[in-house]
């Protein structure tokens, strides 16, 4: 990043990033026409060293992070339902590496969000208990992706979730196991599906839920060039979801290829001001609906590297939030995430 860092002392908890290593598989992977294929080739390896470089070298005061499941480092052996426990085991090791203090006060993966197949019904309880044990006090909850669209061009290789997953009776039976253990739920759905999260939140009013990536406005396939046309529908869905007090929202993911905002892409590196102009309508709508105490900025790295580098992304967020008070910015950049994921110790 060549721009000066805005408010370099403002504490940031990055509540959404991944760790993965596609390097061994890439020589055997065919080229994928969908833009997500370029993401994996652009960032084939994103582990502690790469995360540390982004969080430390960008110049922002990133004090800690929360890891989000991405299907990496699953166990190779054992029952299929327990294979995602391997991801939690791996990330807990990264968190321990960071917590050693060798790399300074930065605390990577202070919270861990894993994967468990909620369609196992009550049987998912054994998986959740194994992940809690593997997290060594850092496991916070799961993300079971519900993103689905009938147009295969929208999600490409990530189009695995069935339609209306969150309404499935077996899914909801498994979902109830989260509350029994005090765990959180991350919901990744696409713009037309936000109502599915609203229905889930109303069915489980005591369950903490966070909507990832402002609900993922779409710009690929049949949605190409329709941002202005669809904005009012997205805004109405966000407003309805915000009436659920158990739901929060993540402010990010807008530099992903699925959104196709502006001319973002790996071959362009926009300024923070340009990014802020693209993000502002979505971010301001969410903050107005949820309030600063229920909204948190996220990097979604390395996925959002598609459209921006790490430092410029956080500068853009700070420009969007420029009119907020100091207390509101403390919530948006750290406080809301600290409470939701129970990592308040990072702010002590």
Does the residue 218 lie in any domain? Answer: yes
CB 292 within 8 A of CB 253: no
Domain count, the chain: 1
Q: Tens digit of pLDDT for each residue in 62-92?
A: 999 999 999 999 999 999 999 999 999 999 9
Does the residue 273 lie in any domain? Answer: yes
What distance in Å separates the CA atoms of residue 330 and residue 98, rounded to the nearest whole number?
A: 24
Q: Tens digit of pLDDT for each residue in 201-254?
A: 999 999 999 999 999 999 999 999 999 999 999 999 999 999 999 999 999 999
Residues in the chain: 348
Q: Tens digit of pLDDT for each residue in 284-313?
A: 999 999 999 999 999 999 999 999 999 999
Does the residue 2 lie in any domain? Answer: no
pTM given for the model: 0.96
Q: What is the Cα Rg of the chain in Å?
A: 19
Does the residue 347 lie in any domain? Answer: no
Q: Tens digit of pLDDT for each residue in 156-210?
A: 888 899 999 999 999 999 999 999 999 999 999 999 999 999 999 999 999 999 9
Query: Which region holds residue 121: left if phi is over 0, alpha if psi is between -120 and 50, else beta?
Result: left
Does the residue 259 lie in any domain? Answer: yes
> Domain containing 63 — which CATH number?
3.20.20.140
Does the residue 311 lie in any domain? Answer: yes
Intra-chain end-to-end CA distance of the chain, in Å: 29
Residue 22's pLDDT band, with cuts at 50, 70 and 90, is confident
Look at residue 33 and tell me whether its pLDDT is greater than 80: no
Look at residue 43 and tell me whether its pLDDT is greater than 90: no
Query: Which region holds residue 342: left if phi is over 0, alpha if psi is between -120 and 50, else beta?
Result: left
Per-residue model confidence (pLDDT) at position 179? 98
| Token pair for 13 | 């908890």
| Token pair for 127 | 């998986």
Q: Which of 202, 257, 254 is nearest to 224 (CA)?
A: 257
What is the span of the domain harbouring residue 248? 11-342
Q: Please tell me which residue, 49 or 24, carries the higher pLDDT value.
A: 49
Residue 40's pLDDT band, with cuts at 50, 70 and 90, is confident
What's the whole-number average pLDDT of the chain? 95
CB 334 within 8 A of CB 60: no
What distance in Å separates the CA atoms of residue 126 and residue 60, rounded to the nearest whole number?
A: 40
Residue 30's pLDDT band, with cuts at 50, 70 and 90, is low
Pairing of β 209-211 and β 20-21? unpaired
Does the residue 37 lie in any domain? Answer: yes
Does the residue 327 lie in any domain? Answer: yes
> Is 89 in a helix, a strand, or coil?
helix
């Amino acid at each position: 990043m060549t721009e000066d860092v805005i408010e370099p002392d403002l504490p940031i908890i990055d509540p959404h990033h991944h760790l993965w290593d596609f390097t061994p598989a890439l020589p055997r992977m065919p080229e994928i026409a969908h833009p997500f294929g370029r993401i994996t080739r652009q960032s084939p390896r994103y582990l502690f060293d790469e995360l540390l470089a982004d969080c430390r070298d960008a110049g922002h005061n990133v004090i800690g992070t929360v890891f989000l499941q991405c299907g990496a480092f699953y166990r190779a052996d054992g029952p299929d339902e327990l294979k995602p426990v391997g991801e939690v085991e791996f990330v807990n090791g990264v968190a321990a590496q960071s917590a050693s203090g060798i790399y300074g006060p930065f605390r990577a993966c202070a919270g861990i969000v894993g994967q468990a197949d909620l369609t196992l019904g009550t049987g998912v309880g054994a998986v959740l208990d194994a992940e809690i044990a593997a997290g060594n006090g850092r496991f916070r909850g799961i993300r079971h992706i519900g993103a689905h669209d009938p147009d295969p061009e929208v999600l490409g290789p990530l189009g695995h979730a069935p339609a209306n997953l969150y309404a499935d009776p077996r899914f909801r039976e498994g979902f109830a196991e989260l509350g029994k253990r005090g765990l959180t739920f991350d919901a990744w759905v696409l713009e037309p599906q936000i109502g599915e999260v609203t229905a889930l939140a109303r069915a489980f009013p005591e369950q903490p839920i966070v909507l990832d990536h402002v609900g993922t406005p779409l710009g690929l396939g049949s949605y190409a060039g329709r941002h202005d046309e669809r904005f009012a529908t997205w805004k109405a869905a966000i407003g309805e979801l915000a009436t659920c007090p158990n739901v929060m929202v993540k402010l990010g993911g807008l530099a992903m290829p699925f959104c196709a905002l502006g001319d973002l892409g790996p071959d362009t590196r926009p300024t923070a001001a340009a990014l802020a102009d693209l993000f502002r309508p979505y971010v301001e709508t969410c903050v107005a609906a949820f309030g600063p105490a229920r909204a948190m900025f996220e990097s979604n790295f390395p996925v959002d590297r598609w459209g921006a580098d790490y430092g410029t992304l956080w500068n853009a967020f700070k420009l969007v939030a420029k009119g907020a008070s100091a207390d509101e910015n403390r919530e948006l950049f750290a406080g809301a995430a600290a409470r939701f994921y129970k990592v308040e110790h990072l702010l002590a």
